[in-house]
Amino acid sequence: MNISAYKPIGKITNHHLLTLLDYSSEEIFEILHLAKKLKTELKTGQKHELLKGRTLAMIFAKSSTRTRVSFEQGIRQLGGYPMFLSSSDIQLGRGEPIADTVRTLERYNIDGIMIRTFAHRDVEDLAKFGNIPIINGLTDDFHPCQALADLLTVYEKFGKLSGIKMVYMGDSNNVSNSLMIAGAKTGMDVVICCPKTNAPNSRLLKQAQAIAKVSVTDDLDTALKGADVVYTDVFFSMGQNNKDESKKATLMPYQVNSTVMSKAKSSAIFMHCLPAYRGLEVTANVIDGKQSVVFDQAENRLHAQKAVMALLMQ
């Protein structure tokens, strides 16, 4: 189904957002339609306190500017309350078992949990042992909230998702994992352009390819021909050794620069989930140039996440 033909019904069947593998195309479209609606209402000064009086616990084992601010602002704009819990506040999976953590938070009338952490198993265990919605703010394996914001951005720029060619350049990671799934489920043509040594997880790639068109290549010309979107992320994710000169040398040929952008369509946009390191994965003239939509992406984290919270926590 094409997103333009989808008629929102105001609900989804999922109780959690752990990975978009669990979501149907229609549920993703439901989130995107609500995100656009909430964004329009915010811009026009309309209140939408869909979660009035609800509390979202935000667990951060990994720090993040965009994740914290967008979820805090999002739950407030929906009429609810954020509760920030850092790694020093909560010993998830170490001092106290995950099962005990989520069961305790439920007893304190917490209505939902957003967690940004390392092991994806932590997110799965929270959902397994608890009865309140769990939202994956990022794990080492997946970043579904970012992918939803990315879909919203592409939809705004092109008026469609089906048939759009998105090329992800560089190191395969949690962002590219979620983009493969999100793109496949919404009819996009997703290409991962990376060195053979940095290819996506084979199991996950097969899952994405079983849904729709997803391919992997190390050839830039092949990947970028006809590209509508050129996307990249940092070469070194949080917690990785950013002094690894061997990895840097392997990835530098996949830096997004003006030459790379010239291989895509002249109407192509550049995307990056931020933070970005100018001179490494992308050059300044690209990320700060007219084709860049990185701050639209960053803003859309707010709107996409509000839609997720509203659908899961009502």
Q: Is 221 a catalytic residue?
A: no
Q: How far is CA 202 from CA 177, 208, 213, 301, in A?
A: 11, 10, 15, 28
Q: Which position among 66, 68, 116, 272 bears the catalytic label?
A: 116
> What average pLDDT does range 252-276 have in this prediction?
98
DSSP state of 201: P
pLDDT band of residue 210 (cuts 50, 70, 90) is very high
Structure tokens at 90: 């909560």
Q: Which position among 233, 255, 272, 297 bears the catalytic label?
A: 233
Residue type, 82: P
Question: Model confidence over 135-150: pLDDT tens digits?
Answer: 999 999 999 999 999 9
Question: Model confidence over 177-207: pLDDT tens digits?
Answer: 999 999 999 999 999 999 999 999 999 999 9
Question: Model confidence over 13-71: pLDDT tens digits?
Answer: 999 999 999 999 999 999 999 999 999 999 999 999 999 999 999 999 998 999 999 99
Distance CA 132, CA 134 (A): 6
Average pLDDT, the chain: 95
Q: Is 291 a catalytic residue?
A: no
- Smallest CA-to-CA distance from 132 within 156, 147, 149, 115 is with 115
Q: Is 146 a catalytic residue?
A: yes
Q: Which position among 54, 66, 143, 303 bears the catalytic label?
A: 143
Quick check: 89 pLDDT over 90?
Answer: no
Identify the pLDDT of residue 94: 62
Q: Which position among 16, 273, 303, 305 bears the catalytic label?
A: 273
> What average pLDDT does range 287-303 have in this prediction?
98
Instruction: Please check whether residue 237 is in contact with residue 276, taking contact to mean a CB–CB distance below 8 angstroms.
Output: no
| Environment class of 266 (CB within 10 Å of its CB; exposed 0-12, middle 13-18, buried 19+) | exposed
pLDDT band of residue 311 (cuts 50, 70, 90) is very high
Identify the pLDDT of residue 1: 74
> What are the chain's domains?
3-143+301-313 (3.40.50.1370), 144-297 (3.40.50.1370)
Q: Is 143 a catalytic residue?
A: yes
Question: Model confidence over 103-131: pLDDT tens digits?
Answer: 999 999 999 999 999 999 999 999 999 99
Q: How far is CA 51 from CA 18, 44, 107, 114, 129, in A?
A: 21, 19, 19, 15, 23
Q: Is 145 a catalytic residue?
A: no
Q: Is 301 a catalytic residue?
A: yes
Distance CA 101, CA 104 (A): 5
| Environment class of 177 (CB within 10 Å of its CB; exposed 0-12, middle 13-18, buried 19+) | buried
Identify the pLDDT of residue 265: 98
Q: Which position among 146, 255, 297, 305 bears the catalytic label?
A: 146
Quick check: 93 pLDDT over 60?
Answer: no
